[in-house]
Amino acid sequence: MDIKMMHIKDPKETRQKNQVPRSYRGLPNRGATCYLNATLQVLFMTKAFRERVLLGAPSETNGKLVSALKEIFEELSNQDRGAKSVSTHGIIKSLGIQRYVQQDAVEYFLDILEKVGPDLAKVFSGTLRNIRICSENHKSHDDSPFKSLQIPVIIRDGLFTLVCNST
């Protein structure tokens, strides 16, 4: 996917001449919570998800979590230079995290999407079509819903290339 299609604005690109540069605010690591911080940054930087949360989209499953996401997204939206990092305490509390141990970021991403409900989670939903062609050229397929795909990426000479295996 082209980075421009992701609707992520670099502070350097958005400032006008002679304007003080803006900077993104960070999230503190509360002791092995980098998986959560990475997940929250992905959610925040996904424009459609961020806008749904900030506009108060209803949650069918966990209103406290959506409220905590809204609060942290509002704070992260403040890109004033010199602003402090944004506390993750509200998110940690709403997710019921009691022990700070390393977790898998993708698992937490999927867990958060499950907890916010299908209306918010549909931003990340898609359908994967698996096509099979036999030696006699007969075709069949099946479709599977997804919210997360693992796609290998090769970095060569500063370029990112998706790895596609087809036989």
Banded model confidence at residue 17, pLDDT cuts 50, 70, 90 = low
- Whether the CB-CB separation of 106 and 148 falls below 8 Å is answered with yes
Nearest-5° Cα angle at 153, 156 to 149: 170
Write down the CATH number for the domain with range 3-124: 3.90.70.10
Torsional sign, CA 65, 70, 73, 75: negative
Q: In terms of pLDDT, which residue wins out, 60 or 71?
A: 71
User: How high is the pLDDT of residue 113?
Assistant: 92
The answer, yes or no, to whether residue 12 has pLDDT greater than 80, is no
CA distance 36 to 30: 10
- Whether the CB-CB separation of 102 and 33 falls below 8 Å is answered with no
User: How high is the pLDDT of residue 84?
Assistant: 80
User: How high is the pLDDT of residue 58?
Assistant: 64
User: How high is the pLDDT of residue 140?
Assistant: 93
User: How high is the pLDDT of residue 155?
Assistant: 85
Mean pLDDT of 38-46: 92
- Whether the CB-CB separation of 68 and 54 falls below 8 Å is answered with no
**Per-residue pLDDT reduced to its tens digit, 116-127:** 988 888 899 888
Domain range summary for the chain, segments of one domain joined by +: 3-124, 127-162
**Per-residue pLDDT reduced to its tens digit, 63-88:** 889 999 999 999 888 766 666 888 88
User: How high is the pLDDT of residue 32?
Assistant: 81
Task: Please give the single-letter amino acid code of residue 166.
Answer: S
Banded model confidence at residue 3, pLDDT cuts 50, 70, 90 = very low
DSSP string, 15-81: PPTTPPPP--------SS-HHHHHHHHHHHH-HHHHHHHHTT---SS-HHHHHHHHHHHHHHH---T
